[in-house]
Amino acid sequence: MLEPRFRVASFISVIILLIGSSQKAESAIGVNWGTLSFHKLKPSIVVDLLKENKVQKVKLFDADPDSLKALMGSGIQVMVGISNDMLATLSSSTLASDLWVRQNVSRYMVKGGVDIRYVAVGNEPFLSSYAGQYQSYVMSALLNLQQSLAKANLAGYIKLVVPCNADAYESTLPSQGAFRPELTQIITQLVSFLNSNGSPFVVNIYPFLSLYGNPDFPQDYAFFEGTTHAVTDGSNVYYNAFDGNLDTLVAALSKLGYGQMSIIIGEVGWPTDGALGANLTAARVFNQGLINHVLSNKGTPLRPGVPPMDIYLFSLFDEGAKNVLPGNFERHWGIFSFDGQAKYPLNLGLGNRLLRNARNVQYLPSRWCVANPSTDLTDVSNHMKLACSVADCTTLNYGGSCNGIGVKGNISYAFNSYYQLQLQNSQSCDFDGLGMVTFLDPSIGDCRFLVGVTDVSSSSFRQICRWLILWVLILWGFWVFPI
């Protein structure tokens, strides 16, 4: 338990925060700030980017100290996350939850600190593909964390939420929405907890995945530009998948007696690469349509005039280190590229203002690694496999922006991706003599050959890369070149 002087200090800090900003904040368009990138910008540059674009709310997937320190004094409202693999520990005892709150929340809730509004307990823990492995930990973790927040005098200010995937509910029509039968008991407990503590229901909605996973899904229904495939549900008509999905959740909550519960969209967006239909134009049309639709305050047929409390776009940046099991598009959701450059014009609802690029980004020198045109590239496949097992080559695959650049282009792209990841170490462009360094940008059309950025964690990340490469080499049983 916290000592009295720390409890008093924590209480005073919360009072200061409450005075400085109203608990009833305006709804806003926020962003998800993920950090699974090979080329991370300094957190201070990211926070400056958020402020430059007047982003008022940001959602983190963990409680990364560097990110939270950079957010101190920014005035940006923050949702910090707890990964699913921590749920078992946090459900085991209040000692564990006390420690987590002390290390990841209380220490930042000071004057001039971080304005933490939500703690996301798990991330889509009820996802059907998890087969219930996290389900039994959720409520115990929530109850323990709520006690821990209360001990720190933060329970009245910080709300606990559990981001759910839209696969938690189902129906043929929105009005028939219901939670999956195996989730009815746990969701009933969850919404009762959320309701008693004044917390919203957080849901992640992805019309792109509906389109990607179902060849018969009408493409125009995924957007907000009008459709020839409107869904009629009694007296209600749905012209886009987002509204239909959201009202399916509203109906499911109503069946449990919580039809008026506030809803936050924790993730929503459209990727720009890595699959058919994932491109810059589609992403711009979807995200701009979504923003305009939400900020119009039209709401949905089941909630006219009541849009979601907040919407967090997914995501701020491309994340080249994400798992691609769901699809290669997983690494290309960003409204900004990895280096903080806006991918397309987007208005976040701030008059005529479009996205502004990150400033003070420090790049590596303008040089690239490409296939040596004077060598025989017959035996290049193993080198490409190694390069792409470490670096991100997803744009080379079917549907990707670099899919049509030819065999030599593919080799050069793979070599360069690895070379930049190794901070342009000269040996990393050797590939047994098959690679060479060039000072001419080899980018072709929409296929961009990147130049890496420098950051404060470069040395530690490089060490991780060394171990990863060593593991790959041992697994495959051959050596390619020294690092």
Q: Which residues does the annotation mark as catalytic?
A: 124, 267
Can you tell me the distance from the alpha carbon of 227 to that of 155, in angstroms, rounded to the nearest whole number?
A: 45
Q: Which residues contact 479 (CB under 8 A, 6 or more apart)?
A: 473
Can you tell me the distance from the alpha carbon of 133 to that of 152, in angstroms, rounded to the nearest whole number?
A: 30
Under 8 Å between Cβ of 167 and 128: yes
Under 8 Å between Cβ of 308 and 294: yes
Structure tokens given for 189: 């407990």
Can you tell me the distance from the alpha carbon of 315 to that of 269, in angstroms, rounded to the nearest whole number?
A: 7
- DSSP, collapsed to helix, strand or coil, labels residue 431 as helix
Pairing of strands 77-82, 299-300: unpaired
* SS3 sequence of 205-218: CCHHHHHHHCCCCC
For the chain, the helix, strand and coil percentages under 3-state DSSP, each to the nearest 5:
40, 15, 45
CA 248 to chain centre: 23
Can you tell me the distance from the alpha carbon of 174 to that of 164, in angstroms, rounded to the nearest whole number?
A: 17
Residue with tokens 């170490």: 425
* SS3 sequence of 69-106: HHHCCCCCEEEEEECHHHHHHHHHCHHHHHHHHHHHCH
Residues forming beta bridges with residue 353, ordered by sequence position:
none
Under 8 Å between Cβ of 88 and 144: no
CA dihedral 477, 386, 270, 79 (to 10 degrees): 70
Can you tell me the distance from the alpha carbon of 21 to that of 436, in angstroms, rounded to the nearest whole number?
A: 56
Can you tell me the distance from the alpha carbon of 95 to that of 98, in angstroms, rounded to the nearest whole number?
A: 5
Can you tell me the distance from the alpha carbon of 169 to that of 167, in angstroms, rounded to the nearest whole number?
A: 5
| N residues, the chain | 483
Can you tell me the distance from the alpha carbon of 174 to that of 171, in angstroms, rounded to the nearest whole number?
A: 6
129: burial class by Cβ within 10 Å (0-12, 13-18, 19+)? Answer: exposed
